[in-house]
Structure 1
């Protein structure tokens, strides 16, 4: 089994990779080969090699530009072979905002499981074993928080307007409001480069040529005005 472990804390990344290989016989019925990488760009290079990895463990906070659920979204956009991805994170189930990030990873971006870096060593070992056995694994404390904090239904998360994904729809609505790339990045807590990338996908899906045409399409879907806002209240 070929595994890619992605974490920008190089010492931790190498230590976890070596731990996995050292205890391979206890965790998996098949031999394990682990490649540690320290950036999202390098991870995308590795996942597109032939043969591709069988499994990826991905930290969500890799650097200033790749943080939270957007990190998994970026990775999945460059993961054409749909290699299974497990989130390995320092996020905690005691924080409502962080619980929602974990929920988004499972619901919107097809994570195959969650490992908590700050969790008990024994639980992480059990989770690794279950994941390597092909199971979807979520720690019990995360499952309990999911059950207690189920969010109210949201149109942007439950309906694929105009064939756009939830994140694309969020960006599309910002475009329809006339926000700049910098303003959209700030509002959605992503990078300007990510906004440009998603915008290009939106233009392609909607078969439009620019922001104005995209805004018209989104506003029509929303039942609103004829174009982006001009700053009026």
Structure 2
């Protein structure tokens, strides 16, 4: 049986999700109203999973997710959201989330996702996984693999049979897609996402 902490600032949503999870009898659910209440609960007792609403106060720019992950590194955290893109799901995983659950999931899918997360797995909706896999073009993947291998733009260009300026354009584009500060960061992000 999993012990789940559910933080959502909308009473109806919070109670509905809690009811879905309780109906299986597999999970003990502790609903709280927000990020501060979630932190208090985590300090007071241990949980197998934390579900945080992506849009509640304190969660801006994944601040809440990062805060909980830093303070309680042993507890898996997943975000729940009413309307967020696959890109947001990918970013959440990059910041240490174990999962991203749209509030549009059917009750049985929600239960399966929570079961998987409580068991130590990860969960992403199918469309987010598809977007993550195909966000870079095959050529951009080749370039980022070259960067990860330690090659200069000139060496990558020679290897791929293209102009150095072309490689520079690919580096710029893939850095934007991976939200990387520089080429080294791009290589690290690509490695984290399993692209290299």
- From 58, 67, 70, the equivalent of 2:63 is 70
Find the residue that maps to 1:53 and give its secondary structure: coil
Going from structure 1 to structure 2, the CA distance change for 1:73 and 1:40 (only over 3 Å counts) comes to same
Deviations 1:129-185 (A, max 9, x none): 3223332111111101112324723236964xxxxxx9xxxxxxxxxxxxxxxxxxx
User: Does 1:86 pair with 2:78?
Assistant: yes
Find the residue that maps to 1:36 and give its secondary structure: strand
Query: Is 2:20–2:111's contact at 8 Å kept on the other side of the alignment?
Result: no
For 2:183 and 2:123, locate their aligned partners in 1 and report how far apart those are by CA, in whole Å: 23
For 1:91 and 1:157, locate their aligned partners in 2 and report how far apart those are by CA, in whole Å: 31
User: Does 1:46 pair with 2:41?
Assistant: yes
Q: Which residue of structure 2 lines up, in the alignment, with residue 99 of structure 1?
A: 86
Structure 2 unaligned blocks of 5 or more: 137-172, 190-196
How many residue pairs match? The answer is 146
Query: Is 2:5–2:47's contact at 8 Å kept on the other side of the alignment?
Result: yes
Query: Is 2:50–2:77's contact at 8 Å kept on the other side of the alignment?
Result: yes
For 1:157 and 1:106, locate their aligned partners in 2 and report how far apart those are by CA, in whole Å: 20
Q: Alpha carbon RMSD of aligned pairs, Å? A: 2.6
Tell me which stretches of 4 or more aligned residues in structure 1 moved more than 6 Å: none
Going from structure 1 to structure 2, the CA distance change for 1:54 and 1:120 (only over 3 Å counts) comes to closer
Q: Which residue of structure 2 lines up, in the alignment, with residue 16 of structure 1?
A: 17
Q: TM-score scaled by structure 1?
A: 0.55
Q: How do 1:97-176 and structure 2 match up within 5 A?
A: 98-107=85-94, 109-150=95-136, 152-153=174-175, 154-155=180-181, 159=185
Q: TM-score scaled by structure 2?
A: 0.64
Structure 1 unaligned blocks of 5 or more: 26-31, 93-97, 160-165, 167-233
How far off its partner does 1:113 sit?
1.3
How far off its partner does 1:82 sit?
2.5
Going from structure 1 to structure 2, the CA distance change for 1:6 and 1:132 (only over 3 Å counts) comes to same
Query: Is 1:61–1:71's contact at 8 Å kept on the other side of the alignment?
Result: no
